[in-house]
Chains A and B, each alone.
Chain A
Amino acid sequence: MKKIVCYGCNLGCGLYFGDVPYFRKNSPVNSGKICRFGMKIHRYEKVLPKVDGKNVELDDAIAAAAKKLADVKEMAFVSFGDVTCEEQLAFNKLAEAFESDVHTCIPRFIGANIEKIRQSKEIITFIDPYTSYPLILRHMLHAKKNGAKITSYYWKKLRIADESVILNPAEIDKIKSINFGDSLVITDLNPLNLDFSNEIIKSCNAENIVCLKPFLNSTGASLISDGEKSIYQIFEEIKEKKIKGLYLLESDLGIVPDDTLMAALDELEVLIVQQSMRNALSDRADIVLCGDRKFEGKGTVLNFEGRVLENEGGTEGIKILTDILKSVGEEINYDKMHAEVLSKLGINEIDEYIVPKYDIKYKQREAEIKNYEGDAHLVYAYNPFMWNNVIDRDFVEISPSLVESLNLHKDELLKMTSSKGSVAVKYKINNAMPDNIVLSPMKLPISTDIVTPVNFKEP
């Protein structure tokens, strides 16, 4: 069995993998415990190499990618960080060879560590630990058991919170007036909520923020790559023809709530994807290069604390990048990348039980946090399945009062309409939900953003 790190998020949960996952009880972050996603990490269809819709040998797909990279100018390179630091660095080399940067779509930031959660006496959380980052829950429960007061600012009441403040999409800017004091703040930083996180990060002492992130190696990738474009800027520049070709490394732009944005990809001269999972993006791509499964890449991973973890596995992903780089006369290999990663991190060896110190300046965004119009809203409940575009739960959560006011019967569907159209979905009644919010663990076709104004009238 290999020692691996779960790619469900950037918590850095360690586990073993043979044919199936198994519990690695000496893993520092999770003591071997894994969430629902972790239990299912291996259950996905592997993609096959492809050029222009036809299955080909991997070498032919690599050759086609090298040719397109030489032909198409204004290429953009994106890697959210669902790869090891070594693969991210190799991807950097590729981008540099074509005078570009790699964009992770998540700013560089490392805040407080797990120990700080466990020792806290006051915690303010903006995430739902039960759903979004489940293995952070046990550390919060530990703090609570030791007397910590937990306040949540979220779309529904959280069981763990002593005080639950329900966020209202029409007045999100009210978070500006929160007095954080010396509380430990738990939030997340993901490609879809940069303005929201920015508001929190700029209001707190960085040492008091636990900043969770959604991809295997979000933290490591953001330390290694310098590109600063957001996911929405990338779409914008594609539309404006400033980006004419796109190379996505294990990064599904399909995570954006508004599916209509994806149409921009059709305007590209070339869309190259290097990934392991077959999905709508790989079906859409001109060239598909298939690497190791997300949890099978050999190398180094940094979790949200900056803790350096080792992932045992293969180097198929780096080999693909190595082969493409050969076409422009560059020589790289795994060992070189690994040595350079350790040097960049300022360490000689990997010790998962130590959290190194980092001196990282968070670059503030100038954008203002925005409120959403309307009386009722569909809101995304971030979770590892959603980030991987997998539907695990096919129902939304709503309040008992909403069910009553709409006169919904058991097994009936909830009908919602947004500016994009209508949808009917299964629902679960949850006492913790406010009446004006529909919380969804999956992407729905009517969503326009992470918060979408909706109404419940028949279209």
Chain B
Amino acid sequence: MKIGDCVVAWSKDEELRKMGASGGLVTSLLVGALETELVDEVIALRKISEFEGVPIRTSDTDEAIRSAGSLHAAPINLTKFAVRFFEEHPDGAIALPVKPCDCRGIIEQAKRRKIDMDRIYLIGLNCGGTMDPITTMEMLEKMYEMDPKKIVEEEILKGKLIFKTEEEEKAISIDEVEEAGYGRRESCRYCGINIPMMADLACGNWGAGEDETFVEILTEKGLRLMKSAVDHGLIETAPAPEKGIKIREKTNSVMENVAKTWYEKVFVPIEDRSERMKYYMDAMEDCIDCEACKYVCPVCSCDESKCIGFYDPMDSHKISIYHLIRLLHLADSCIGCGQCTDVCPAEIPLTILHKRVADRIQAKYDYIPGIDMKTPPFFEVE
């Protein structure tokens, strides 16, 4: 194996192959990283149900194994959990599975010296999108006529959203469920980054056979992760077949096109300046000052937050200074992950509001945050 290789891989442990998605590779890599002492801890989602995963940080391999399995309806960004690890263990090392938006958040935090990229192992996961758990449960009852409590597995495959119980399997096209207001979170629909090429490994089932994972080895750290798991007898690998490589490319291209269509649908330009101002004021006026959007934001890194520090709740502005500062602060770093919209109690479409500003700025400076370690255009120092 070498950097740039594409392989298929799977866990040698029969139990893990069953528990984990696509042959249990990712869980085996986490276990391998702990057992070979490449890392001190791993971060994973402990599965409570198909609709609930609790983020855990652990050095216990058994606990890592218990977190096996994919969860599409537990949309949590793990960046801040990685930041917490480095706050507590500046010289420690950690591994975690990352969706592209987790990975982008981590890279932005690394630029702000909150994460040490040499000590974090990013097991990238291809991502076609995640779903909000509550609306997904509602969708299951209304569109699939399935009991959410009986769901044992869900999958996104060939443009369809598939749910399985012990007794049956039902699939509906993603277009149909999204037309009805369900399906993937809005930010996932227009996200065009599906394969995390900025991670150490890019893993997924696109182009892979049954019970195996397609892996592209992207960095020296990724190679180290794979080799240590092989040497430790945890995984088996084989070269990725040409057909698999083409399927993966094609799937990615289809997803990129779907995202483009959604982007155009959601981000209809507001050409008139005063209309644009009115749009922002109207959307932000429901704000109840909870600050959850800042708290959950994977790229927010201020220790003493300017957005909070300069904000005075006694001011009577229709858009608070808090939001104005955040709009400015995120202009070069917003990755459009959707976490702020997810947690907003007033249902303000914050991700869209931020992206409307950030996309223009990022396009102007030819800068895409979270893709590489390129210095953000607003940084004063290189």
* A residues apposed to B, CB below 8 Å: 1, 16, 22-28, 30-36, 38-39, 130-131, 134-135, 137-138, 141-142, 159-160, 353, 393, 395, 426-431
Interface centre among A23, A135, A427 (most CB of B within 10 A): A23
**B residues less than 8 Å from A23 (CB atoms):** 76, 292, 296, 342-343
- C-alpha gap A28/B55 in the complex (Å): 19
- C-alpha gap A130/B287 in the complex (Å): 8
Q: Is the CB of B342 within 8 A of A32?
A: yes
**B residues less than 8 Å from A429 (CB atoms):** 316
Partner of B290, one of A25, A28, A39, A395: A39
Q: Is the CB of B134 within 8 A of A137?
A: no
A309 CB to closest chain B CB, in angstroms?
14
Nearest 3 CB-CB pairings of A with B:
A26-B133, A33-B345, A36-B290
Q: Is the CB of B137 within 8 A of A428?
A: no
Q: Is the CB of B133 within 8 A of A137?
A: no
Can you report 5 A-B residue pairs in the complex whose CB atoms are below 8 A from each other?
A23-B342, A25-B76, A33-B342, A35-B288, A138-B347
**B residues less than 8 Å from A24 (CB atoms):** 52
**B residues less than 8 Å from A28 (CB atoms):** 134
Dominant secondary structure at the B interface = loop
* B residues apposed to A, CB below 8 Å: 49, 51-52, 54-56, 73-76, 132-134, 137, 148-149, 285-286, 288-292, 295-296, 313-316, 342-347
Dominant secondary structure at the A interface = loop
**B residues less than 8 Å from A34 (CB atoms):** 290, 292, 343, 345
Q: Is the CB of B342 within 8 A of A25?
A: yes
Q: Is the CB of A428 within 8 A of B314?
A: yes
Known: A159-B286, A428-B314. 9 other contacts (CB 8 A): A23-B76, A31-B342, A33-B345, A34-B345, A134-B288, A137-B286, A138-B345, A141-B286, A426-B314
Q: Is the CB of A393 within 8 A of B290?
A: no
**A residues less than 8 Å from B295 (CB atoms):** 39
A212 CB to closest chain B CB, in angstroms?
15
Q: Is the CB of B134 within 8 A of A393?
A: no
Partner of A1, one of B55, B133, B289, B314: B55
Shortest Cβ distance from A136 into B: residue? B345
Interface centre among B52, B137, B289, B345 (most CB of A within 10 A): B345
Q: Is the CB of A393 within 8 A of B345?
A: no
**A residues less than 8 Å from B149 (CB atoms):** 353
**A residues less than 8 Å from B56 (CB atoms):** 1
**B residues less than 8 Å from A137 (CB atoms):** 286, 288, 345-347
Partner of B313, one of A16, A141, A393: A393
Known: A28-B134, A39-B295, A138-B346. A16 touches B54 (CB 8 A): yes
A215 CB to closest chain B CB, in angstroms?
19
**A residues less than 8 Å from B342 (CB atoms):** 23, 25, 31-33
Q: Is the CB of A25 within 8 A of B133?
A: yes
Partner of B314, one of A16, A30, A32, A395: A395
Shortest Cβ distance from B133 into A: residue? A26
Known: A26-B133, A32-B343. A39 touches B314 (CB 8 A): no
Known: A25-B76, A353-B137. A130 touches B288 (CB 8 A): yes
A180 CB to closest chain B CB, in angstroms?
26
B192 CB to closest chain A CB, in angstroms?
24
Partner of A36, one of B285, B288, B314: B288
